Amino acid sequence: MTPLRPNSLQTVIDAPTPMAPPRWALLQRQLLEAQARACHEFYARYFDDRGYLNCVPRWSGDDGPDDALENVLNWTVLHALGADDSILHLYKKALEGHFRQYTEAKTTDVALGRDGMYFQEFHACFDWFHHGEAWSPIFLQGLSDPNDRTLIARMRRWTGWYMGENPHVPNYDPEHRVIRSFFNGSRGPLLRPATALDWAGDPIDVEGRFDALHGEQSFDQMLEHFRDYTDVVGDNHVNLGATTLGLAAYALTGEEKYRDWVRDYLNAWVERTEKNNGLIPSSVGLDGTVDSGYGWYGGVYGWGFSVMQIPWNGRVAHRAYHTRTPFSFANGFLMTGNADYVSLFRRMIDNVNSHATVQDGKTLYPHMYGRLDRLERIKNGESLAGLPETGPEGWYEYRASKFAPSAFALWYWTHDQSALDLLDHVPPWVDFINGSDPTFPERALEADLEALRQKVEGFRADLRSPDTTMSDDMNHFNPATIGALTQLMLGGIPTGRDVHALHAQLRYFDPARRRAGLPEQVAALVDGMTADGVTVQLVNLDPVDAHSVVIQGGAYNEHRLTHVRDSDGGEHNPQGVPFAVRLAPGAAIHLTISMERYANPPTFSFPWV
């Protein structure tokens, strides 16, 4: 794969024929415009003039800095789709305020944060489950802002900590290819067992002041929540989320060292998986071997991580978080074009499901593996202190649903229809893409418009003062509702807070305003998708002025465009690069676009110089 930086648009397609505007196009533009207005009101309600969030800033796995930044989750993608430029401005103001607010915020009892919860504009020391949730909007800022020097400098700095470049922040051991702790950050790794206090943050009055989303009524209950979150030394599969830093740094700079590190770190995990009978280990020792960790199934959020979710009522939570790991391996697919990175996870899914059992005539599939004596102690509310070093192991937590984390994404990346067979229900978007549910676009857009209405109604009725507000209290009011827009406009997977890149078939640019996103009053609908191309409708809702739109293959120009056929029978050769469409007033066009998927290295660069 050779770098591709198109200097000019070699193909321009004209769409001269007007048509009555389809309802999906009107709804799409309404949703984009309404979200922008709602984001302004949301910002005015929950942020001050400095960009600080109106809340009690805490260090916590419950309501920490990650939740604070999630209040602008999806804003960068919303702008990249075509929302007003003010959304990007508000996001940046909130981001700078966030960095200052959590650098100034200090803990008293938690030693890790006494000099500031943030240092060098990054969490001092926490886990990639939460780092990733906080950084999800930042990872995607380059979609709209590829030349922002501050963003580029930050990505270089942060990624360097996970490549072994900074001896003062030794998160990464390049010799053994391990991130040295599940707890890591701008002050380096935590190389001792974590405590409940490390997770829960400083003591705080809860009852009568806060409505904790995890249901705790006291600080003691918060501590009890994290009682067994101790095994953090060594590498952990959740740390693979750090590869999205490397992807963003590479897409911003084009420097090969970032791609090399992502590839090398992922390859280390591939090798460990192969040695572990095709099962991705959740714990790796400091020497890079599975045997020296907590067992291949150990560690926080590992295969055997069953804990008392709500200890005071005896409910057990099974928290083996695998849903984000495939997206980390997909970073390797995106950066190298090697589909083996995602096929590995599919093989593992089949491996796990091969351990199914039949009970009362029903097939049940395991979702957890670990120490069965540990599980019994958890169920009985007993302490894990004194648990023998060895004990009975096995699969458990059998369910009627197949083990299938991110099976939908695996289908998307590979176009292997059998991946959909792993799901209990095929998403309606898939039926639409396959041509069997033509009403889906309007239903989905209507549902998101109603969700937006309810969110605005909710935050307008929120009477809490900042000193009774946690950082996550307003997350569910965030107006950026991009799920249907991402699927319908881009043929993509909604990003959310799952630490991953934007996986899309197409992306659009406005050449008149020299920015990312569809031009004003232009709508797009990807209505078909195959392994080697897509079909898309473009509509200009403006009855007065013509608009041009540039179409790119993939969110990062990773798909090479090879041929275009328009609805008037015209045949076009874009010669592998983005192309432009000129839409006359009120005009529409339907394009069939052929592409070589994952043929180009990813870049945030716009398709012009």
Give tens-digit pLDDT for 530-562: 999 999 999 999 999 999 999 999 999 999 999
Can you tell me whether residue 540 is helix, strand or coil? Answer: strand
pLDDT confidence bin for 588, thresholds 50/70/90: very high
pLDDT at 478 over 80: yes
Residue among 506, 526, 522 nearest 607 (CA): 506
Whose tokens are 């959909």? That residue is 420
Q: How far is CA 331 from the centre of its chain?
A: 11
Dist CA 609 CA 606 (whole Å): 7
119: which residues sit within 8 A by CB, 6+ positions away?
A: 103, 185, 186, 187
Residue 511: burial class (beta carbons within 10 Å; 0-12, 13-18, 19+): middle
Average pLDDT of the chain to the nearest whole number: 95
Residue 175: burial class (beta carbons within 10 Å; 0-12, 13-18, 19+): exposed
Read out DSSP for 369-410?
Answer: EEEHHHHHHHHTT---TT--SS--EEEEEEESS---TTHHHH
Strands, DSSP E only, in 490-544?
Answer: 506-510, 515-516, 522-530, 533-540
pLDDT at 99: 98
Rounded to whole angstroms, what are the CA distances from 443 to 27, 29, 450? 10, 15, 11
pLDDT at 7 over 80: no
With the C-alpha atoms ordered 236, 243, 479, 462, is the resulting torsion angle positive or negative?
positive
With the C-alpha atoms ordered 205, 207, 212, 218, is the resulting torsion angle positive or negative?
positive
| Segment 410-420 mean pLDDT | 96
Q: Which amino acid is at 496?
A: G
pLDDT at 589 over 60: yes
**Domain ranges in the chain?**
1-21+505-609, 22-484
pLDDT at 123 over 60: yes
pLDDT tens digits for range 244-266 = 999 999 999 999 999 999 999 99
Rounded to whole angstroms, what are the CA distances from 61 to 48, 201, 222? 24, 8, 9
Q: Quick one: 1-21+505-609 is in which CATH superfamily?
A: Golgi alpha-mannosidase II (2.60.40.1180)
Least confident of 106-110, 241-245, 390-394: 390-394
Dist CA 447 CA 24 (whole Å): 12
CATH code for residues 22-484 = 1.50.10
Residue 95 near residue 72, CB atoms below 8 Å: yes
pLDDT at 130 over 90: yes
Residue 304 near residue 279, CB atoms below 8 Å: no
Element (H, E) at 172: strand 172-173
Dist CA 111 CA 113 (whole Å): 6
Strand order in the sheet with 515-516: 12-15, 579-583, 547-553, 506-510, 515-516
State if pTM tops 0.85.
yes
